[in-house]
């Protein structure tokens, strides 16, 4: 299951992780975000133990969203060693997300 990541947990969960981290920036009112949600959950299950998969609600965590320039949602960022190494904007097929994340394992 995807972790809920907040402004206060972001540094510890994402930036200090020793594994790649996929972060889905989303909002409750966003239709495409609701379409992507189940895909993110599947990716979280598939990569359990190999990568961290989490979600940031942009309405409740504006600090992180602004810091990473999130203008459109859903946006998925992949972090490795505290740095953004990949970015996907919009609803993306599971295969593409899994391929991108696998490249950073």
Active site residues: 30, 33
Q: Are 102 and 89 in contact (CB under 8 A)?
A: no
**Helix or strand (DSSP H, E) at 99:** helix 94-102
- For the chain, give the number of residues: 105
Q: Say how far apart CA 7 and CA 60 lie, in whole Å.
A: 8
């Amino acid at each position: 299951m995807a972790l809920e990541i907040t402004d206060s947990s972001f540094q510890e969960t994402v930036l200090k992780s020793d594994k790649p981290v996929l972060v889905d920036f989303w909002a409750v009112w966003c239709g495409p975000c609701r379409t992507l949600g189940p895909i993110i959950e599947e990716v979280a299950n598939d990569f359990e133990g190999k990568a961290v998969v989490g979600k940031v609600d942009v309405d409740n965590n504006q600090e992180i969203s602004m810091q990473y320039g999130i203008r459109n949602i859903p946006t998925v960022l992949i972090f490795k060693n505290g740095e953004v190494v990949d970015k996907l904007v919009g609803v993306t097929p599971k295969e593409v997300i899994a391929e991108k994340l696998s490249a950073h394992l």
